[in-house]
Amino acid sequence: MKIIRVRWIPRRKLAAMNLFGVVFAPKGETLAPRTLNHEAIHTAQMKEMLFIFFYLWYFLEWLFRLRKKSSAYRRISFEREAYLHEHDPEYLKNRKPYHWVRYL
């Protein structure tokens, strides 16, 4: 997973942003191991969905979850899987393909 340091990411809102398996992080910030693991989980999800289908599903699920009062972002199945397992550095070694489906 490649990491690119940029100035345009707001530090208060985002620790990092993963686009097509490349992580963009604020310049001068150190990424926590859990953040790197979180983004690595997203990269695995993207690869198994051939990237474009990941973004399509992500957007459609986000739109669907906007109807609820709680945070749509936190309720997306991809994010739920990543947040639940970001503290486990061994997770990707044992992860089954399409595991995010469990969190729909």
How do residues 1-56 score in pLDDT, each as one tens digit?
899 999 998 877 789 999 999 999 999 889 999 999 999 999 999 999 999 999 99
48 within a domain of the structure (yes/no)? yes
Q: What is the pLDDT of residue 41?
A: 98
Q: What is the pTM of this model?
A: 0.93
- Indicate whether 69 pLDDT > 80: no
Using the Cα atoms of residue 14, residue 19, residue 25 and residue 30 in order, give the sign of their dihedral. Answer: positive
Q: Which domain holds residue 49?
A: 33-103
Task: Please give the Cα distance from 65 to 92 (Å, whole number).
Answer: 27
Q: What is the pLDDT of residue 50?
A: 97
Task: Please give the Cα distance from 84 to 40 (Å, whole number).
Answer: 13
13 within a domain of the structure (yes/no)? no
Banded model confidence at residue 88, pLDDT cuts 50, 70, 90? very high
Sequence-ordered list of residues with C-beta below 8 angstroms from that of 36, at least 6 positions apart, any chain:
1, 23
Total tally of structural domains belonging to the chain: 1
